[in-house]
A and B are shown apart, each in its own frame.
Chain A
């Protein structure tokens, strides 16, 4: 079950509007976030606030209707014109038909400065649509203060953000509203999955709510995330930059790593979110979901027998391996355009959700650097928090050398990935497809970090380093290096040294990989492992 909040789009209203507040005493938490344009209400409907001769029931109905159209038809049209949907349309698309149960429909902002008290600036529901509903029958909360309830019942929270920022007119109250949300995001972290879908501008303090959630998705061309917009940037640093360059979907999915994926438009994003939701467990108390699977678990994948090229310097695409073994070749990749030397994402094995981490030999030889370590670490921790088994495909030549990496702190960032794999107690299955060199071998879910099942393909080479480098060090200045290299290759460039020591459990025929993993996952489904009691671990942030 999940909870979500959807913002009603608020379009124009003063520049940065948004955080909204609940007025009434009984509701404590403000909801930040989604903004949906609510807007000028038509003349006649504007009047209803003051009409006192109506019965309570009549007033309820009128308010409900007004809330349903949010800011009014004009605002709805304006939102559509920008290629965006209204909050209510978004919720309708995201959730199963007729499953949405809304709450806080009667909330209005209490702001009375700068003309905000005027009726025409007040909208029932105050810019945010919140409630709960179902995705393929499973509960989800959409946004906001419902987060408390989401945590209580154990259901994911989805925020659909389209908000200009704090309602400046509200002053400090809006800041308090943000902090309420941030706290809630932090409290819910690791309890229920939290997903943010950025569907419009999201600036200033508001950006920290998505940043605290587990996954942030964006809509291409219509969504932006930044702390300060281009105008402020220009006045402070004199940099000329567009909204898109500063905080568009491309920037955040490829450069900053803030967002995990981008979609073409509102509809594409919401439908994909439904699809993504099916991979997630409802809470940390629930097992990874198992769906009906038509793909035989003992299917052989003959293409894998030839995928690793003979020359160790030649690249191949790790995605080919992942898609080959996954149910129906389906792989929901997380951060496909960021730190591409590591691949992470979700797939299913015999219907059961798994998290997959793989070095990508196609990009920078699949080495580990700062960005790929951080990307991998965050993903591994999500899987561990939510009972999702982790499959790791290893072809790593080592950590990336160089001053930029050392100055950037590759040591502490690399340690994050190491930390994440080591502390994870979910089932961990590792397949070494080719290189597993040096410290990077240890890091990549090795046997030594409590890997449950560690396999090697016949092409695996577990060693401290590659033949050339090793020989240059061991036999420095000696002439017959080619000969020594051949000897080194013979000795170390194969899976045997690791296998005889029990560092890999078996050397398997690549085409049987899917079959082996499915069988192991079934065995490991009941795995129970606990780390020593601690308040929380101290991961090297």
Chain B
């Protein structure tokens, strides 16, 4: 495999001489998009496509449509009226109020929008109606093309039980059955996708609990509360094969994606290719995936998911009959534009590529940037308004697929994904290095995000070595994620930068323009004796300045920090002891409190003059409230059920209420055995993060 990008020129070459060895052509491409849409004007597809989705995937589809000269129609809910996908589209139709079942899942309204705009085809994106056979049927009935597989393939693969039987029949390896007594089981929704409603139960109690929560979620999300229970394969990797098939019986496998890094069965970091597969296993998996696709007369892009154990045995898990969230990394290494291929196939064109045309060029990593708090169960949704937002697209070989912009609201109604951050490089190390830089340069303010976790994962020695399983997060962070753990050198770097920033701000506050009534006597100070507090530790710091370079002595060790010290910029590029780093300053107040993002994690640093530091000892400590007797909502959402009333006696760990957010039900439990003092919420209510729900005595 070589690390080349396939530029559009190269792609044309490939089309003409399919068997030419592209390995000898090394292209150093700096194009921002790591895939090529080769638009053949003789190949007429559609005039107008409606995208029945929102957010980044709607924008992603529209980008290709624009390149192909196809007009686009966006649908949106009322709260999304000024969303990016709406602005990007040629036309937009409002299909209902914010809740998804009244807008993006509202087939009647979407059918109306199709008729009204005269759209010839519909791209469903992922989620929502993408794997809904009823929707595909209704489109077919009105002669509108569904850009995706045929109804029978959706149907066959959509049912987790039937799909396994079909896979078995097509000679695809399947998971050892679920008959007999098994120690651990998993409870899976039959029609779910993306890990939603999937729960692992280790004992009878958990099975009962999982059964109840999963069936409720299933009913509310998919209107189908059947469940599948099967043996749980421990320590597996999750590796999936991208397939692409046309309506003429051709099918290709576009290599694998490694998606083992997951939290609560939802993917967080993906890469292509996988460090784990050898060419034989890759081929075997690819061929089985193609067999399955052919067995169900699959057309369009699809994904066959496998569990792979440590001996490289792989088992069919399920097939996703849609474009996957993580498709960009496949595009990066193969150079294909999957959306374009889906559109072509939907129109009935045969595939242009043969299996041997499909390369693995370089390495691509995708980080899913979510509006969630990684310190709570590796990520509980957070909401808010993006008060500042800058994507790191000024860096080379970085692709950001997003559907939001500065000022956008992340609401409780939809998926909390902010963007997919993809970096690409000739080697995995290069791609990872770019990912580090991209994460450091990504400015997100106004919502809590998971960049701290993402950056820790991609720099984790075990991840770098490629030794990962789907249990990576719980294994590496058994106590939960706590953010970056500073080394003593890192600590000094951070303290020195904070001190330098503090001094810069102090100096700036003495500079008045055109004001003659400022004292001229106090000469500009050149030396500062400071005390810097960080994570309960305190450091004595001496700072001296020459120009924009600060020499900072932290506990006797000298650190040199230089930079522009632009106090208005969200990014703080500095050179610390000759190593360039990008920090971010999130806040800085008059009391000396500075919040810096350093190596992905946000640290609260307090910079004090020696005088303030000495006198601080006299300040009273404010007593924080006792949280064991107070239950607050850990995230914004709606209350599904309240299981207690005032006066009830609850046991430690007993469920108090259930909050649903982003379609996930979260059971909140009592932190101690106590009597319920008061209940401040009721079922059906919407609550914000930190809202008081229940008070115990």
Contacts and interface: CB of A to CB of B under 8 A. Distances in A.
Interface of A: 1, 80-85, 89, 92-93, 96-99, 134, 136-139, 221-222, 264-268, 271-272, 274-276, 278, 282, 286, 289-296, 301-307, 310-311, 317, 320, 323-324, 327-329, 351
B355 interface: no
Q: Which has the most chain B C-beta neighbours within 10 Å: A134, A222, A294, A327?
A: A294
Q: Which has the most chain A C-beta neighbours within 10 Å: B508, B511, B519, B590?
A: B590
Contacts of B619: 83, 265-267
A291 B512 contact: yes
B612 A290 contact: no
B381 to A, nearest CB: 20
A279 B568 CA distance: 17
A291 B513 contact: yes
B620 A290 contact: no
A286 B515 CA distance: 9
Interface of B: 78, 81-82, 385-389, 405-408, 508-515, 517-519, 522, 566-569, 589-592, 611-612, 615-616, 618-620, 622
Contact of B510 (A1, A98, A137): A137
Nearest to A290: B513
Contacts of A265: 619-620
B387 A310 contact: no
Nearest to A133: B519
Given A96-B522, A294-B569, A271 B592 contact: yes
25 contacts: A80-B618, A85-B618, A93-B615, A98-B522, A136-B509, A136-B518, A137-B522, A264-B622, A266-B615, A266-B618, A271-B612, A272-B590, A274-B590, A276-B590, A289-B515, A291-B508, A294-B569, A296-B568, A301-B406, A303-B385, A303-B405, A303-B407, A307-B407, A323-B387, A328-B567
Nearest to A154: B517
Q: Shortest 3 CB-CB distances between A and B: which pairs? A: A303-B407, A83-B620, A275-B590
B512 A84 contact: no
Nearest to B409: A306
A267 B515 contact: no
B407 A305 contact: yes
Contacts of A305: 82, 407
Contacts of B615: 85, 89, 93, 266-267
Nearest to B592: A271
Contacts of B591: 264, 267-268, 271-272
Contacts of B510: 136-137
A61 B589 CA distance: 40
A306 B592 CA distance: 34
A291 B511 contact: yes
A85 B617 CA distance: 10
Contacts, number: 126
Given A89-B615, A136-B510, A221-B620, 13 more contacts: A1-B517, A81-B618, A93-B612, A134-B519, A267-B615, A268-B591, A275-B590, A282-B517, A289-B512, A291-B513, A294-B568, A303-B388, A329-B387
Contacts of A292: 508, 511, 513
A478 B693 CA distance: 47
B496 to A, nearest CB: 21
Nearest to A511: B407
A425 B512 CA distance: 24
A282 B516 CA distance: 11
Nearest to A98: B522
A304 B387 CA distance: 10
Contacts of A83: 618-620
A200 to B, nearest CB: 13
A249 to B, nearest CB: 13
Nearest to B405: A302
Q: Which has the most chain A C-beta neighbours within 10 Å: B387, B567, B589, B618?
A: B618
Contacts of B508: 291-292, 294
B611 A92 contact: yes
Contact of A302 (B407, B522, B569, B622): B407
Contact of B78 (A96, A98, A306, A310): A310
A81 B617 CA distance: 10
A271 B589 CA distance: 9
Contacts of B620: 82-83, 221-222, 265
A141 to B, nearest CB: 14
Given A92-B611, A324-B387, A138 B519 contact: yes
Contacts of A282: 517
Contact of A327 (B408, B509, B522, B568): B568
A268 B593 CA distance: 10
A137 B82 contact: no
Nearest to A263: B591
B32 to A, nearest CB: 20
Nearest to A77: B618
Contact of A278 (B509, B568, B622): B509
Contacts of A93: 611-612, 615
Contact of B567 (A97, A136, A138, A294): A294
A351 B511 CA distance: 10
A265 B615 CA distance: 11
A139 B385 CA distance: 41
Given A80-B618, A85-B618, A134 B522 contact: yes
Contacts of B387: 303, 320, 323-324, 329
Contacts of A98: 522
Q: Which has the most chain B C-beta neighbours within 10 Å: A264, A276, A306?
A: A306
A89 B514 CA distance: 32
A89 B613 CA distance: 12
Nearest to A295: B568
Contact of B618 (A84, A291, A302): A84
Contacts of B386: 303
Contacts of B618: 80-81, 83-85, 266
Contacts of B590: 271-272, 274-276
A264 to B, nearest CB: 7
Nearest to A302: B406
B512 A138 contact: yes
Contacts of B519: 99, 134, 137-139
Contact of A310 (B81, B566, B569, B592): B81
A317 B592 CA distance: 27
A139 B612 CA distance: 21
Q: Which has the most chain B C-beta neighbours within 10 Å: A1, A80, A271?
A: A271
Nearest to B617: A80
Contacts of A329: 387-388
A295 B385 CA distance: 22
A305 B86 CA distance: 14
Contacts of A323: 387
Contacts of B616: 267
Contacts of B589: 272, 275
Contacts of A222: 620
Nearest to A283: B517
A304 B82 CA distance: 12
A267 B612 contact: yes
A304 B405 CA distance: 11
Contacts of A307: 407
Nearest to A307: B407
A138 B592 CA distance: 21
